[in-house]
Amino acid sequence: MMTPKEYIDSIKKLDLTVYMSGRRLENITEDPVLRPSLNAVAATYSLAQNSDFEDLLTATSHITGKKINRFTHIHQNSEDLVKKSKMGRLIGSQTGCCFQRCVGMDALNALSITTYNTDKKHGTEYNRRFLKFLEYVQEHDLVCDGAMTDPKGDRSLPPHRQKDPDMYLRIVDENKDGIFVRGAKVHQTGAVNSHEIIVMPTISMREEDRDYAVAFAVPSDTKGITYIIGRQSCDTRKMEGGLMDQGNLFFGGHEAMIIFDDVFVPNERIFMLREFDFSGELVEKFASYHRQSYACKAGVGDVLIGAAQTIAEYNGAEKASHIKDKIIEMNHLNETIFCGSIACAAEGHREPSGTYMVNTLLANVHKQNVTRFPYEIARLAQDISGGLMVTLPSEKDLKSPVTGALIDKYLKGNENTSTENRMRILRLIENITLGSAAVGYLTESMHGAGSPQAQRIMISREVNIREKQKVAKRLCGIRENEK
């Protein structure tokens, strides 16, 4: 397994084409906007080296029998799924942000199932290719970006009827050695911190859309791939030189749009080639795994609750009954998020491939809770913090010989707490609920792993409503064959 330094050095060696704010970046690992996100991924390597967390952060490869990072592991039992949930919460609580490796892990596990099932039906050899790729990922402890979401263009039209056919990533040419693909993937968390890009279809395809039914993996610096970094609230604070106004001094996240301009994919890296009948299964397997992964929001919630309790004490309000009740409610909501992730893991089952799959119903219920509860937790944190959270003067004003003393005098709270520390904790709360970390805590909670409506559709499919009706009728004496 790689050390954090080895991981960062490996990213430095990549020849990526990355644009941000209208300019091409020459050194992404030292860019002040992107470096916090790199640090967050590096934390997954650091914690894996820590003997205290070894049980959660590492696993044994079912291919080689070697010790590997759990982010490259294929779940072999329900215990693996439970450990995945606990790992997500742990790292979220240590970084206070999105640490970017879950989506790749979930893509690997979904492909381990669908490639096997596709081979059984169509006589293909995708699973052999996949296992070879997986062994490579495990051996080198690589970060994979799972790329599923297409721009989609006009949402009322299927891929083949779009005015611009590139609104969904597609096969545009092929030869005996492989295929050429064109299109884009959006909302790609941690994309430029990844070694490999794993592409999957974004919806269930029909025969007319067979050229869009494609799954593959390519190195992140493959010719023809361009990354465009998305904006985040308060992101330019990272370029101002100071640290306090960033809130989180060490970690962060990033999102990117990935453009594929006639990118070549060799045959050995192709895991679906027009098998449209398995596109829906791959989407649903991946989505359920990734919805389980939102245990990480309970970890970030731990940080936010700790910050809310701290500002209550700094404000001198921690003994007020309504403050105590709000902290209790934040904990209740946060632990409910974690319960859902553990439940869908504990109720997991073995697929024919040998991979363990989460309980799809409970994974979708869990993610539906995540679309709501972090918003309420954030609201309560803002309530407890007070308006100063968003009207604070800057770090430069605090350090100014003219205004510093005035800020120190008038923004002091509890007499045992410095004004600077009060400002620091408020900036952290701002960062998680409104700033750049809010992408990973709030917006990602809403739209990550699919929209809330997608989860409700899955819940309606998975719930056996007829069985519920049958029991209700039996208990009150209704006979099924009577009107």
Considering the domain architecture, whether residues 256 and 363 belong to the same structural domain is answered as no
Other CB atoms within 10 Å distance of the CB of residue 377? 30
Among residues 444, 314, 311, the alpha carbon closest in space to that of 380 is found at 311
Considering the domain architecture, whether residues 300 and 217 belong to the same structural domain is answered as no
In tens, the pLDDT along 314-365 reads 999 999 999 999 999 999 999 999 999 999 999 999 999 999 999 999 999 9
Helices in 76-231 by DSSP H: which ranges? 78-95, 102-122, 126-140
Considering the domain architecture, whether residues 91 and 118 belong to the same structural domain is answered as yes
Angle between helices 321-346 and 279-292 (to 10 degrees): 140
Considering the domain architecture, whether residues 37 and 176 belong to the same structural domain is answered as yes
Considering the domain architecture, whether residues 333 and 225 belong to the same structural domain is answered as no
Q: Is residue 481 part of a domain?
A: no
Is 482 a residue whose pLDDT tops 70? no
- Contact residues for 275 (Cβ-Cβ < 8 A; gap 6+): 118, 122, 124, 213
Predicted confidence band of residue 480 (pLDDT cuts 50, 70, 90): confident
What is the pLDDT, as a whole number, of residue 197?
98
Q: 278, 313, 337: which is the final residue of a domain?
A: 278
What is the pLDDT, as a whole number, of residue 242?
85
Number of alpha carbons in the 13 Å side-chain half-sphere of residue 13: 8
Q: Is residue 285 part of a domain?
A: no
Considering the domain architecture, whether residues 274 and 309 belong to the same structural domain is answered as no
Considering the domain architecture, whether residues 220 and 354 belong to the same structural domain is answered as no
Q: Is residue 445 part of a domain?
A: yes
Q: Is residue 284 part of a domain?
A: no
Considering the domain architecture, whether residues 338 and 271 belong to the same structural domain is answered as no
Considering the domain architecture, whether residues 178 and 237 belong to the same structural domain is answered as yes
| Contact predicate 426/389, CB 8 Å | yes
Considering the domain architecture, whether residues 310 and 262 belong to the same structural domain is answered as no
- What letters, b where the CB count within 10 A reaches 16 and e where it falls short, cover 90-127? bbbbbbbbbbbbbbbbbbbbbbbbbbbbbbeeeebebb
Q: Give SS3 for 268.
A: helix
Which residues participate in catalysis according to the annotation?
Answer: 98, 102, 189, 255, 290, 294, 296, 444
Q: 247, 278, 309: which is the final residue of a domain?
A: 278
Tokens describing residue 127: 């699973």
Give, rounded to a whole angstrom, the gap between the first and last alpha carbons of the chain: 66
| Contact predicate 136/108, CB 8 Å | no
Overall pTM surpassing 0.75 (yes/no): yes
CA distance 203 to 284: 9
In tens, the pLDDT along 34-85 reads 999 999 999 999 999 999 999 999 999 999 999 999 999 999 999 999 999 9
In tens, the pLDDT along 125-163 reads 999 999 999 999 999 999 999 999 999 999 999 999 999
| Contact predicate 346/80, CB 8 Å | no
Q: 278, 303, 333: which is the final residue of a domain?
A: 278
CA distance 52 to 94: 13
Among residues 12, 8, 10, 6, the alpha carbon closest in space to that of 27 is found at 12
Considering the domain architecture, whether residues 236 and 96 belong to the same structural domain is answered as yes
Count of structural domains, the chain: 2
Q: Is residue 353 part of a domain?
A: yes
Domain that holds residue 261: 4-278
Q: Is residue 173 part of a domain?
A: yes
Q: Length of the chain, please? A: 483
Strand partners, 155: none
Report the DSSP pairing between strands 214-219 and 196-199.
Answer: antiparallel
Among residues 86, 58, 54, the alpha carbon closest in space to that of 71 is found at 58
CA dist 315 to 182, 210, 284, 308, 392, Å?
55, 60, 47, 10, 14
Tell the residue number behind the tokens 């799959």, with chain if given: 357
Domain of residue 146, CATH code: 2.40.110.10
Considering the domain architecture, whether residues 208 and 242 belong to the same structural domain is answered as yes
- Contact residues for 388 (Cβ-Cβ < 8 A; gap 6+): 411, 426
